[in-house]
Structure 1
Amino acid sequence: MATYQKRGKTWQYSISRAKQGLPRLTKSGFATKSDAQAEAMEIESQIKRGFVVDPIKQNIADYFKEWMELYKKGAIDEITYKGYRDTYKKLEIYMPNILISEITASSYQRVLNIFAETHAKATTSGFHKRVRASIQPLIEEGRLQKDFTSRAVVKGNGNDKAEQDKFVNYDEYKNLVEYFKNRLDPNYSSPTMLFIISITGMRASEAYGLVWDDIDFDNNIIKCRRTWNYRAKEGGFKKPKTSAGIRDIVIDDDNMSILKNFREQQKQLFEEMEIEPIHDFVCYHPFKKIVTLSAVQNSLSHALKKLGISTPLTIHGLRHTHASVLLYHGIDIMTVSKRLGHASVAITQQTYIHVIKELENRDRDKIIELLKKL
């Protein structure tokens, strides 16, 4: 039978384990007595079923470091792994020397709230998702009885990039595609990359890594098989983050014909200049070779200015716009998810929740109109 005691402003439970020949199990730090009772009842139930329940004698930061080195190091690229290292450092700052067994839902929420005071919501969300992922093995192994992250509310300091800054409307999107299409020139590579991203929704790293053998002109398919590490000075091919990144992207006859003509122009120019592009890249500058991402972004910004588009669209925003246009025009979200190379449709739903909500409202109006005719 558990006993409960208030210690200062928090509550503590204590559970007898005499029948198992073990000392009492005590845990404090609960905001309310009911919180303590809820966890204690769950642990007592496990003890009755024969489980040996012991608190984890390790602080959350040290545990997270061991977990990320065991499960993430070498399995993900260095850029993604950096996010886990940053989370570890943040845990050392915001949850110093706090044992995992002492963390409750309310104490974790308080930490998230403090973190959110100086960080954007997207940053806070990333921190929370990595912490939550790290404790899942403990829950699955029965070492942690309750997921203290499960009902956490993610906040932010309001410095997130405005939602409208991530996308442009359909007419602006069409104007951008036309702008890039009309400026395809083998003497430059940025318009080519922006054109490909705008009609495929590819990531920048995927467009960088695209070679001519990846384009199936007969079947109107662009094959995404690898990425290029444009962040590193030495470059280098990499595998996609997940198996979903390996995919075939279908495009239309007209745009494929434009790419085919561009290939012939590029081939002729490079032969005349005696240039042999490494790996036969599609997006390749005759002198600068592989241009920087900032150069591509500058080209996009210049296009926005020329077209009178006020939205400060990024290269990644161009990918978002492509996906949003497909969803707005009734393309199934599963199809869009596969086209983007998302690991799951849940990621697509979360990323484009604003579009989905708008489509739900539109469909609701359609339902009402239909019912009126009955």
Structure 2
Amino acid sequence: MENDQNELFYLYYKRWITVYKEGAIRSITMAKYLMTYKWLVKLIPNLKMCELTRIAYQQMLNDYAQEHERQTTMDFHHQIKGAILDAVDEGLIDRDPTRKAIIKGKTPREKKPKYLNQFELQTMLSTLHLTAEVNWDWFILLVAKTGMRFSEALALTPKDFDFAHQMLTINKTWNYKGGGGFLPTKNQSSVRKIQIDWQTVIQFSELIKGLPEEQPIFLTGSGKIYNSTVNDILKRACERAQVPVISIHGLRHTHASLLLFAGVSTASVARRLGHASMTTTQKTYLHIIQELENQDVDLVMRSLSGLS
């Protein structure tokens, strides 16, 4: 035990990741844990398990916070905390050094707009070059109309379209960060069917006619595509339309926002977006939901004032 307490903390953390996380979490999440490990090597290369006091832990968080925003520091803290609590359980650390930790961080950069309003979206879509062949402008249109994640839209094949029932099946993603190829969806809730409008049905039934049934519609050749490439195409469309520049992920936010403002229930929006729970939707779109609640209160008061 004495020997274990003299182990360097970053080495314990690396072992902890391997035992508890490897193979149990998605590769993207695993990459975040490995990045946290690299920061531990940088920040506390000589800190032993037995030296991990509250003040040592707080100092490490403060050092990390000098180069990161508060939310990023909070994520860093949570990723380490799991390992530390296990070390406390095993008697390698006497007391929980993460207790009452203060999370600091750099002032966040000015946030870019996350979504467009309906007029801005329509203006931007009207500038797209929708050719007779599949191109990235078609991709932008489809994400705007469905709210799909970038990786989900990349993985779409002709087989996923059910034009007769105006349905689109989402059951896989494309490994655009790795070497290409299909991957499972983010979570089980992400496997879903999305209703599409008749105009999209007409456009895409013509567009994908004759394409290989099980090949991604938007990818050719090696299937290598970068998020930044499509974001640049969207950026140019936004600039042409003279609307705020948003990302492809921002189109997903735009889609959800328009549905909420149109009066679609949070539960329906959560299902359409493939969120694991309504809580995710509520947290992500809290500002819009609050705005709608204020409108509801006005409506209730007007209704009640009519009673006598």
TM-score normalised by structure 2 residue count: 0.81
Q: How much has 1:175 moved relative to structure 2?
A: 2.6
* Contact 1:217/1:256 (8 A) holds in 2: yes
1:306 corresponds to which residue? 240
Residue type of the alignment partner of 1:352: Y
Q: Deviations over 1:203-229 (max 9, x none)?
A: 111111110101111221111111111
- In the alignment, structure 1 residue 255 sits paired with structure 2 residue 189: no
- In the alignment, structure 1 residue 214 sits paired with structure 2 residue 160: yes
Distance change in 2, residues 1:92/1:369 (3 Å): farther
Q: Deviations over 1:32-57 (max 9, x none)?
A: xxxxxxxxxxxxxxxxxxxxxxxx94
Distance change in 2, residues 1:132/1:289 (3 Å): closer
Distance change in 2, residues 1:198/1:84 (3 Å): same
Distance change in 2, residues 1:278/1:251 (3 Å): closer
Larger relative contact order (CA 8 Å, sep ≥ 6)? 2
Q: Measure the CA separation in 2 of the matches of 1:154 and 1:347.
A: 23
Distance change in 2, residues 1:95/1:231 (3 Å): same
Residue type of the alignment partner of 2:73: T
The correspondence of residues 1-374 of structure 1 with structure 2, limited to 5 A, is: 57=5, 61-94=10-43, 97=47, 99=49, 103-104=53-54, 108=57, 111-134=60-83, 154-160=103-109, 162=111, 164-180=112-128, 183-186=130-133, 188-232=134-178, 234-264=179-209, 267=210, 279-284=214-219, 291-309=225-243, 311-374=244-307
Q: How much has 1:137 moved relative to structure 2?
A: 5.8
Q: How much has 1:149 moved relative to structure 2?
A: 5.4
Q: How much has 1:117 moved relative to structure 2?
A: 2.5
Residue type of the alignment partner of 2:152: E
Q: Deviations over 1:253-272 (max 9, x none)?
A: 222222112223xx3xx7xx
Q: Measure the CA separation in 2 of the matches of 1:344 and 1:312.
A: 29
State the SS of the aligned residue for 2:168. Answer: strand
Residue type of the alignment partner of 1:303: A
Q: Measure the CA separation in 1 of the matches of 2:222 and 2:123.
A: 28
Q: Measure the CA separation in 2 of the matches of 1:101 and 1:358.
A: 49
Q: How much has 1:314 moved relative to structure 2?
A: 1.0
Residue type of the alignment partner of 2:123: N
Q: Measure the CA separation in 2 of the matches of 1:144 and 1:336.
A: 45
Residue type of the alignment partner of 1:257: I
Distance change in 2, residues 1:122/1:366 (3 Å): same
Q: Measure the CA separation in 2 of the matches of 1:349 and 1:117.
A: 31
Q: How much has 1:101 moved relative to structure 2?
A: 9.2
* Contact 1:189/1:291 (8 A) holds in 2: no
* Contact 1:76/1:241 (8 A) holds in 2: no
Distance change in 2, residues 1:204/1:355 (3 Å): same
TM-score normalised by structure 1 residue count: 0.68
Distance change in 2, residues 1:177/1:312 (3 Å): closer
Distance change in 2, residues 1:260/1:121 (3 Å): farther
Bigger Cα displacement from structure 2, 62-71 vs 129-138 = 129-138
Q: Deviations over 1:271-302 (max 9, x none)?
A: xxxxxx694322145x7865543332222111
* Contact 1:116/1:155 (8 A) holds in 2: yes
Q: Measure the CA separation in 1 of the matches of 2:132 and 2:86.
A: 52
* Contact 1:220/1:252 (8 A) holds in 2: yes
Q: How much has 1:312 moved relative to structure 2?
A: 2.4
Q: Measure the CA separation in 2 of the matches of 1:197 and 1:321.
A: 10
* Contact 1:209/1:227 (8 A) holds in 2: yes
Q: How much has 1:360 moved relative to structure 2?
A: 3.3
Q: How much has 1:246 moved relative to structure 2?
A: 1.4
Whichever of the two has the greater Rg, that structure is 1
Distance change in 2, residues 1:139/1:118 (3 Å): same
In the alignment, structure 2 segments of 5+ residues that lack a partner are none
Residue type of the alignment partner of 1:261: E
Distance change in 2, residues 1:334/1:101 (3 Å): farther
RMSD, matched Cα: 3.4
Q: Measure the CA separation in 2 of the matches of 1:147 and 1:348.
A: 33
Q: Measure the CA separation in 2 of the matches of 1:365 and 1:335.
A: 24
Distance change in 2, residues 1:355/1:208 (3 Å): same
* Contact 1:226/1:238 (8 A) holds in 2: yes
Q: How much has 1:94 moved relative to structure 2?
A: 4.0
Q: How much has 1:136 moved relative to structure 2?
A: 6.4
Residue type of the alignment partner of 1:242: N
Distance change in 2, residues 1:107/1:358 (3 Å): farther
